[in-house]
Structure 1
Amino acid sequence: MTKRMIDYWVIPPENDAEFVACMEEVLETYERPYDADHPVICMDEQPVQLIKETRQPIEAAKDHPKRVDYEYERNGTASIFMFSEPLSGFRQATARSQRTKVDWAQEVAQLLDTRYADCQQVTLVLDNLNTHTKGAFYELFEPAVARAYVKRITFVYTPKHGSWLNVAECELSAMTRQCLTGRRVGELDELRDEIGAWSDQTNQKQRGVDCQLQIDEARTKLARLYPKN
């Protein structure tokens, strides 16, 4: 039997009005010039398996690389929350033991209370997970506090099967390759330290993201996604 390689993709639907409506809203958001008083923030989440060593690794020496035993111990899972401000070059990666509505609301509120404390409004680009709702703030805070947070956020949702439009997903991919791939991280605190260090180091480079795809170009290159009027 001939072996065939398979690539797994997020394949967008064709002739889908809802998809292109959400896509154009995201692209229009990315076209906005940078505004420190009303920044555009992207966020995404990623589960990760915590894996502990069962034996002490042997550190690298001149005559051999670091040696790690092939046995390992699963130590539960965690969820990484990535926030990225494309035009300023800022990103923040944090981790929690789970990703409930309350966890998500706590992460967003923490950013609004610290980095964006002086911003009356922020635009948040995110996907359509059932935890990413305005109601999540009401599950965590008293109504008046929840409403105050919600009023400061303009929500822009990527279309279903359109998560590739989220810059934070690209940041998560880069972080995974540069920080986690090929390594074993066994504890939640260790994971937080590692991804926090990656965020700080990457932020020092001030590496921003400039989305090149604009609406007019999308209507031509991605014409198959649009309804045939």
Structure 2
Amino acid sequence: MLRSRIVLLAATGMTNRMIAQRVDSQDTARKWRRRYCEQGIEGLADAPRPGRPRLYPATVVAEVKALACELPAASRTPLARWTCPELARHAAAVGIVPAPSASTVRRWLTDDALKPWQHRSWIFPRDPHFALKASRVLDLYQRQWEGAPLGQDEYVLSADEKPGVQARMRIHLPLPPGPGRAMRIEGEYHRFGTLAYLAAYDVHQARIMGRCEPTTGIKPFTALVDQVMQSEPFTSARRVFWIVDNGSSHRNWAAAARLSDAYPNAQMVHLPVHASWLNQIEVYCSVIQRKLLTPDDFEDLDELTAQILAFESHYNTTARPFDWKFTRTDLNRLLARIRQHDRHAPQPLAA
């Protein structure tokens, strides 16, 4: 269209400089005006290009991508999802010519902007009070409770357990990194058992308080509560909110009653079922997993315990509160999207 416009403007008597003011390039105006003068209308077509001609026409690429967008069951192929080799074989079987190789299919799918052949797992909220419970937790992160701001003597703790932390010692020492080579870790190891790491995270002060136990359960979690609530500033605090998920160590009203009976200034706040992603302690658990436990090399459970507690002290010296940005507004948007997929079980919005 640009080439035709240049020719039409030239036919009106305009110079190359005047045409360039319309098409933003005097070189472009000069090129296509000259080509038209020398070759006529055929000169506006693309000239033959050097190099290897395209092997696969655009129709073949489109057909392969269309196959990738369909489930294998649609073509009676006994697969849950396509792989590139399977897709290349299927393209040849259905008569797509020339049939691409697996590496070519992989390159086409990687370069495509939309990837409907990929999938991610998710789960519908099944707690009928999901919005209410989640919004209470999000309010606490914003230092709000039942519409009123929290005082300076009120604290918000996020607590959970990390079970099955393994004490594994590599059979051979790691090999140090070298030029163009990462550090190498021995794949074989000796096992020395597992322990459970229980921790409470002060959301607004960025302070972690934890302990290691042989296993999880009501008794180990109670020990964590005692450790935290018998230390300042929580002992003399007006209120201490404990945000927990629905694990067996602190599930339902019975756990909340145990906490309030032992410490009248403590209040347990349960997350909805399948909402551990709203628990900030999970962020800290990912930090300790990445920074201390991967790769692991501990000669026994005592060393593992010492290293975990040492990491706590190290973390507390430089930690800052997490930049938590998920609010009630984001929660309502999420639940609105969910309702579009599950009209049989609509979720109420947070007030």
Q: TM-score, normalised by structure 1?
A: 0.80
- What is the percent sequence identity of the aligned residues? 25
Structure 1 pair 65/146, CA: closer, same or farther in 2 (3 Å)? same
Offset from partner CA, 1:1-52 (integer Å, 9 cap, x none): 617977555x3427x5321121111112212166442100001111234243
The alignment status of 1:119 with 2:200, answered yes or no, reads no
Whether the 8 Å contact between 2:256 and 2:267 is mirrored in structure 1 is no
Structure 1 pair 202/228, CA: closer, same or farther in 2 (3 Å)? closer
Whether the 8 Å contact between 1:138 and 1:146 is mirrored in structure 2 is yes
Offset from partner CA, 1:47-90 (integer Å, 9 cap, x none): 23424336462674989987654432222221111211121111
SS class of match (1:198): helix
Aligned pairs, how many?
Answer: 221
Identify the residue that residue 48 of structure 1 maps to in structure 2: 164
SS class of match (1:105): helix
Q: Highest Rg: 1 or 2?
A: 2
Whether the 8 Å contact between 2:131 and 2:347 is mirrored in structure 1 is no
In the alignment, the residues of structure 1 paired with residue 275 and residue 178 of structure 2 have an alpha-carbon distance, to the nearest angstrom, of: 47
Offset from partner CA, 1:159-198 (integer Å, 9 cap, x none): 1011100000111111111111111334222222222222
Q: Which one has the bigger helix percentage?
A: 2
SS class of match (1:25): helix
Identify the residue that residue 173 of structure 1 maps to in structure 2: 286
Structure 1 pair 186/148, CA: closer, same or farther in 2 (3 Å)? same
Match of 1:19 among 102, 126, 130: 130
**Displacement over 3 Å in runs of 4+:** 3-9, 33-36, 58-70, 133-139
Match of 2:155 among 36, 39, 45: 39
| Ranges in structure 2 where 5+ consecutive residues have no aligned partner | 1-81, 85-116, 144-148, 340-345
Matches within 5 A, 1:62-101: 69-101=186-218
How far is the alpha carbon of 1:215 from its aligned partner?
1.4
In the alignment, the residues of structure 2 paired with residue 131 and residue 85 of structure 1 have an alpha-carbon distance, to the nearest angstrom, of: 20
SS class of match (1:207): coil
Whether the 8 Å contact between 1:96 and 1:188 is mirrored in structure 2 is no
Higher RCO structure, 1 or 2 (CA under 8 Å, sep 6+):
1
Letter in 2 for 1:39: Y
In the alignment, the residues of structure 2 paired with residue 190 and residue 180 of structure 1 have an alpha-carbon distance, to the nearest angstrom, of: 12
Q: TM-score, normalised by structure 2?
A: 0.54
SS class of match (2:204): coil
How far is the alpha carbon of 1:114 from its aligned partner?
1.4
In the alignment, the residues of structure 2 paired with residue 178 and residue 130 of structure 1 have an alpha-carbon distance, to the nearest angstrom, of: 28
How far is the alpha carbon of 1:122 from its aligned partner?
0.4
Structure 1 pair 201/167, CA: closer, same or farther in 2 (3 Å)? same
Identify the residue that residue 160 of structure 1 maps to in structure 2: 273
SS class of match (1:46): strand
Offset from partner CA, 1:139-158 (integer Å, 9 cap, x none): 9xxxxx98232x22111111
Structure 1 pair 195/6, CA: closer, same or farther in 2 (3 Å)? farther
In the alignment, the residues of structure 2 paired with residue 137 and residue 161 of structure 1 have an alpha-carbon distance, to the nearest angstrom, of: 19
Q: Return 207-216 or 79-88, whichever deviates more.
A: 207-216
RMSD: 3.3
Structure 1 pair 72/7, CA: closer, same or farther in 2 (3 Å)? farther
Q: Return 93-102 or 127-136, whichever deviates more.
A: 127-136
